Structure 1
Amino acid sequence: MTEKANILDEQAIERALTRIAHEIIERNKGIDECILVGIKTRGAYLAVRIAKKIEQFEGKKVRAGELDITLYRDDLLAKHEDNEPLVHQVDIAYDVKDQKVILVDDVLYTGRTVRAAMDAVMDLGRPAQIQLAVLVDRGHRELPIRPDFVGKNIPTSNDERVVVSVLESDDEDSVTIHSK
């Protein structure tokens, strides 16, 4: 894989996350009934950043949790036989019943990871709503899933790979496109 283009740098990612935080507050008329749930690994880091921004804007903490899902991704060599993501761990310390759960992920591609995350949340109880925030929407959906909050739409081909790097795990913040 060779890097084709650098789409977002550190400042652009911060601006996108700030915009997403404001949109979450605005759409939900505050955060009292909201729980942010990051999809590990990078989605969990982005959820923490969004939660900090919301706390700065609203003056109170937003409840948060995370899901550990083995991803079905175009860049993984060893795929599951059924090509479905598996939920390994749910770390949500709050009752989701009648709450607005906002899933946070780095890249939305086929929608299979989000579907698995929604199933995991539904196993915990019946939320009032499930919303989706993604840093990058690259298209190519295989399921009828649409994000509510998007940092950047990046049209790609199936031969390309979107790589999100975050400071917490990759020592830099960037979004790049790589070609095969």
Structure 2
Amino acid sequence: MALSPEVIEILSPEEVRRTVNRLASEIVERSGNLENLVLLGIYTRGVPLAQTLAQQIRNLEGVDVPTGAVDITFYRDDLDQISLRTPARTEIPVDLTDRIVVLVDDVIYRGRTIRAALNAVTEYGRPRLIRLAVLVDRGHRALPIHPDFVGRQLRTAQEEQVKVYLQDPDGRDSVVLIARPRP
């Protein structure tokens, strides 16, 4: 008989909202002139997260930050190890040359997704600075990549999984840890 995984809520809807608000405030504080700021979400959940951060920055500062989306499918170094998927459309709203780009993703784990995103971004210009904002940092890096803005540090076991749910596209906000039971 297979044991079902244990699901533990890490962030409630209210905690997700507060965490996103804090991340937006930190991005504003560290970016200086917001006219040079661009937010680029990494598919899938980094995109709505970037849009939510842009909305919060608009609420805080009255500035519309250009927000786009990056698909990293063809920049991955592990295509042979992941399931085949249809690439999404990369949407870069402005020339990235001499801009401050904040890459946005839901969870950072090994760092391979971010490495691929860095390669993708440099095909669209040469930003002055690239920073990284993540909702959850779960550790276990395989590459020397570290986020600049972190919503929640969460040390996990490698066999565990972190799942982020966002209002768009999931209909709810929460972060859960899925712990696989040991036989």
TM-score (norm. length: structure 2): 0.88
User: How far apart, CA to CA, are the structure 2 residues paired with 1:38 and 1:13?
Assistant: 17
Partner of 2:79, secondary structure, is coil
**5+ residue gaps, structure 2:** none
Matches within 5 A, 1:100-179: 100-179=100-179
Aligned residue in 2 for 1:5: 8
> Which of the numbers 36, 42, 52 marks the counterpart of 2:45?
42
For the pair shown, the structure with the greater C-alpha radius of gyration is: 2
Quick check: 1:14 aligned with 2:17?
Answer: yes
User: How far apart, CA to CA, are the structure 1 residues paired with 2:127 and 2:55?
Assistant: 23
Partner of 1:152, secondary structure, is strand
User: How far apart, CA to CA, are the structure 1 residues paired with 2:29 and 2:112?
Assistant: 28
Aligned residue in 1 for 2:96: 96
User: How far apart, CA to CA, are the structure 1 residues paired with 2:36 and 2:97?
Assistant: 10
User: How far apart, CA to CA, are the structure 1 residues paired with 2:24 and 2:39?
Assistant: 11
Determine if contact 2:97/2:127 at 8 Å carries over to the other structure: yes
Determine if contact 2:43/2:88 at 8 Å carries over to the other structure: no
User: How far apart, CA to CA, are the structure 1 residues paired with 2:33 and 2:27?
Assistant: 8
Partner of 1:37, secondary structure, is strand
Aligned residue in 2 for 1:81: 80
**5+ residue gaps, structure 1:** 72-78
Report the CA distance between 1:93 and its aligned residue. Answer: 2.1
Q: Could you list the per-position Cα deviations for residues 8-30 of structure 1 after superposition, in whole angstroms to 9, with x for gaps in the alignment? A: 01110111110110001100124
> Which of the numbers 62, 66, 71 marks the counterpart of 1:63?
66
Report the CA distance between 1:70 and its aligned residue. Answer: 4.0
Structure 1 segments, 4+ long, off by >4 Å, are 85-88
Percent identical pairs in the alignment equals 44
Cα separation, partners in 2 of 1:3 and 1:171, compared to 1, 3 Å:
farther
User: How far apart, CA to CA, are the structure 1 residues paired with 2:164 and 2:73?
Assistant: 17
Letter in 2 for 1:63: P
Count of residue pairs brought into register by the alignment: 173
